[in-house]
Amino acid sequence: YFESTYFCYNMIPYVSTFLISILLIVYGSFRSLNMDCENQEKDKDGNPVPNGAFNNGNTNNSESHIFAFSLVHVLCCLAGIQTIDSTQALFLPIGASVSLLVMFFFFDSVQVVFTICTAVLATIAFAFLLLPMCQYLTRPCSPQNKISFGCCGRFTLAELLAFSLSVMLVLIWVLTGHWLLMDALAMGLCVAMIAFVRLPSLKVSCLLLSGLLIYDVFWVFFSAYIFNSNVMVKVATQPADNPLDVLSRKLHLGPGMGRDVPRLSLPGKLVFPSSTGSHFSMLGIGDIVMPGLLLCFVLRYDNYKKQANGEAGGPGTPGRMGRVSYFHCTLIGYFVGLLTATVASRIHRAAQPALLYLVPFTLLPLLTMAYLKGDLRRMWSEPFHTKASSSRFLEV
């Protein structure tokens, strides 16, 4: 009895990681699809939609998302939904490797700046996560009129409430360093990136995920042979000095002013400790966002195909295979891949590159299913019949 109870307690962090990561991917994907549908409806009503319409998924200026787009303007360096092209997909692992090395060698020098930038981006992303809830809460008691803040723009009460709550959460996290608040901020980052970054085709998806698989495997398994340390694990687990503590030292304040604040574990991962604190489950947000982008792509394709079949009046793919969506197939593959990665980490008692398991278990079933349904050629290149002339791409 006691052994089974101990086993159940040990499994709680892993089950929490499974549930939260899947919920984040599903919510972010449907949030993205909802933004596309609003953009499509706005286009049908005759309102101008700059930089492309629904099919290419480049921008969305619907009233309920103006605030969110202004936030992700900071998060993604450009306003609007961002689409990754083939060149950027190839060079993204290289850029990620350079960033990892900078954090590995110069973390002590840049940790304060990096912590502040992370806190700002986490505030923006978590405000985007809270926005639908705040819109629901404020709808009965206030009109959706916008309040002007001069050069800062015009915002509704729901948008101001979401941003205020997000700022409050970040401030409490800085003061306490609690892992639960860090996880909340990481969830906001995951949802924002899944909702606002797009993969335009299956070809780009394969290039990006294959490159990141090699990146993940190299830095987890082989970096120790070159740098005498596991670069990925060290960067992911290294806490940063609290900005309040650094400010207190710089200004030569008393020992009671900012000196008792904890060091901060940055929200680049989801962490769920066990009840005893002896071990914890950790999953990087890249292991959620990158497969999440693939799931967002297949959800958009499922919706596009459903609309196309509805307009044509055709029955679609007959038989059982026609009733299985690409989204459900890929989501099941993600779950199996995450389960396999967890089992591997428990067996080897060492950090595992999660993308080593997630990429094959998501891409291979998707490619097989697309081939059997006859959609592989269409999904491989320009599945939504986009016009590349109006695309705006995410700079790496």
Mind giving me the DSSP string for 30-47? HHHHHHHHHHHHHHHTT-
Banded pLDDT at 252 (limits 50, 70, 90): low
Does the pLDDT at position 231 exceed 80?
Answer: yes
Task: Please confirm, yes or no, whether 216 is among the known catalytic residues.
Answer: yes
Instruction: Say how far apart CA 99 and CA 286 lie, in whole Å.
Output: 14
Report if residue 392 sits inside a domain. Answer: no
Does the pLDDT at position 113 exceed 90?
Answer: no
Task: Please confirm, yes or no, whether 287 is among the known catalytic residues.
Answer: yes
**Mind listing the pLDDT tens digit for each residue in 321-342?**
567 789 999 999 999 999 999 8
Report if residue 396 sits inside a domain. Answer: no
pLDDT at position 261 is 79
pLDDT at position 92 is 92
Report if residue 390 sits inside a domain. Answer: no
Banded pLDDT at 382 (limits 50, 70, 90): confident
Cα within 13 Å of Cα(321), Cβ side: 12
Q: What is the mean pLDDT of residues 377-390?
A: 68
Q: Is 122 exposed, middle or buried (0-12, 13-18, 19+ CB in 10 A)?
A: buried
**What CA dihedral angle connects 295, 299, 301 and 303, to 10 degrees?**
180
What's the chain's average pLDDT? 79
Stated length of the chain: 396
Instruction: Quote the strand ranges of 180-252, DSSP E.
Output: 197-198
Report if residue 394 sits inside a domain. Answer: no
Residue 156 structural domain: 2-384
Q: Which region among 161-165, 248-252, 304-308 has the lowest average model confidence (pLDDT)?
A: 248-252
How many domains does the chain fold into? 1
Instruction: Please identify which of the residues 45, 287, 302, 375 carries the catalytic annotation.
Output: 287
Tokens of 143: 């009109």
Banded pLDDT at 367 (limits 50, 70, 90): very high
Report if residue 16 sits inside a domain. Answer: yes
Report if residue 395 sits inside a domain. Answer: no
Report if residue 357 sits inside a domain. Answer: yes
Instruction: Please identify which of the residues 36, 216, 245, 375 carries the catalytic annotation.
Output: 216
Report if residue 27 sits inside a domain. Answer: yes
Q: Which region among 130-134, 203-207, 384-388 has the lowest average model confidence (pLDDT)?
A: 384-388
CA distances to 97, 103, 112, 180, 255 from 108, in Å? 18, 8, 8, 25, 22
Tokens of 98: 């350079």
